[in-house]
Amino acid sequence: MIYADAAATTRLAQGVLEAMLPYMENSFFNPEGVYQGAVYVRRAVNNAHSILGEALGCQGREIFFTSGGTEADNWALKQFITEKPAHIITSQIEHKAILNTCKTLQQMGWEVTYLPVDRLGLVNPEDLCSAMQSNTRLVSIMLANNEVGTIEPIQKLAAVAHAGGALFHTDAVQAVGHIPVDVSVLGVDFLSLSAHKFGGPKGMGALYAKDGNISAYVDGGGQEMGRRSGTENVAGIIGMATAIKLAMSQMADTTSKICAFRDHIMDCVLHLGGVSVTGPEHGPLRLPGLASFTIESVDSETLVMDLSAKGICVSAGSACSSGTGKPSYVLKALGYSEQEAWSSLRVSLDASLTSEEVSELIQAITSSVKAIRNQRQGRA
Ligand code: PLP
């Protein structure tokens, strides 16, 4: 099997499972306990806060553990729901965790503006400036898109939001562990991340809140500084902290390796003809490990299934929108036609991929595309 769907999820990085296991075996204690074993576990959880804080350039007390990226996004957006409904700004290419939360807020009387993006998937800070209203409470724009890999100009967007008196959240689920993310450099107030996108366990994530300033999301026994109660997922927390530490220490090497693979894959697939890269071409505006295309005369589901039969795991778009029977709303927002949006392919790489696997992957894509096109021509 060749796994090239790392934007959907990653396998546990080496050493992560080993770091987690003791917290499900001998060190199973509830961190709220007062006896020695529990105090040890409490220290490990506190230390995990510090590790995450260090990775994001903030304090450990500004990190709140969640059940993943979706919960962190929900929390960031729903934190004001006890207030009088106001205005939120987001973009048309956000993950469903944001878009569907916005829908819920709209049902509750909130006004939501969905900013457009250009052909590369970039949000224009001037568009944000024009959309700001006196009652704009929050702006939420993703740091990196999960389908086309576009990295948004968050620093500029956050500055515009602040100048207009709003707070700024970014969904950094696809970015954390893959590119440098420093909350103070970005100037964001809230940031979501998810462990399973960078070699950590599924069902584990975090929300950064500047100065710990956020209302409680889950009431109960007062865990997570009173903001998200419930006995901590200790093994998950340790797994996420171990994975982020690893990802940060290996980032430079991983980036140069997978950027080279990504660019090689993009060049070879482009060579097939009738292919366009979706999102930015090579370079700093694109996530290191994500290559995405539309391929003329090729139905993406057919291609993905054909590659799957060859033992190759890729996707048509995001893990969440494929299988819905609808073409990608992200590609449509980028200005692609419905037909083009049905011909998308996303290849996303992690550090474990070898150059032999990359060659095999390219060969398989090439032969599948040719076979599908031939078949289609035969039918015409
Ligand atoms: N945000 C983005 C950009 C994502 O890509 C994903 C997952 O694909 C999520 C949020 C949801 O994260 P989780 O799977 O941890 O709930």
> 1-47 pLDDT, tens per residue?
999 999 999 999 999 999 999 999 999 999 999 999 999 999 999 99
Which of ligand 1's atoms lies nearest the C-alpha of 144? 3
Compute, in angstroms, the gap from residue 373 CA to the centroid of ligand 1. 33
The answer to whether the Cα torsion of 230, 231, 232, 236 is positive or negative is: negative
Distance (Å, whole) CA 234 – CA 45: 7
Quote the ligand 1 centre to 343 CA distance (angstroms). Answer: 23
- Rounded to the nearest angstrom, the distance between the alpha carbon of 8 and the centre of ligand 1 is 8
Percent of the chain with pLDDT over 70: 98
State in Å: Cα 298 to ligand 1 middle: 27
Burial letters 245-280, b for 16+ CB under 10 A, else e: bbbbeebeebbebbbebbbebbebbbebeebbbbbb
Poorest-confidence range of 63-67, 114-118, 373-377? 373-377
Rounded CA-CA distance 304/132 in Å is 41
**129 has catalytic annotation:** no
Asked if pLDDT for residue 379 goes beyond 90, the answer is no
Atom of ligand 1 at shortest range from CA of 319: 8
H helix runs in the chain, sequence order: 16-20, 36-56, 69-78, 96-107, 125-131, 154-163, 183-186, 234-270, 300-309, 329-333, 338-341, 355-379
Instruction: Look at residue 312 in the predicted model and tell me its pLDDT.
Output: 98
* pLDDT value for 225: 95
Question: Pocket residues for ligand 1 (CB within 6 Å)?
Answer: 68-70, 73, 95, 97, 142, 146, 171, 173-174, 194, 205, 319-320
How sure is the predictor about 319, in pLDDT bands with cuts at 50, 70 and 90? Answer: very low
pTM of this structure: 0.97
d(CA 220, CA 226): 8
Q: Which of 70, 141, 348 to mutate to test the pocket of ligand 1 (most atoms within 8 A of CB)?
A: 70
Nearest CA to ligand 1 atom 10: 69
Pairing of the two strands 136-140 and 167-171:
parallel
pLDDT tens-digit series, residues 107-132: 999 999 999 999 999 999 999 999 99
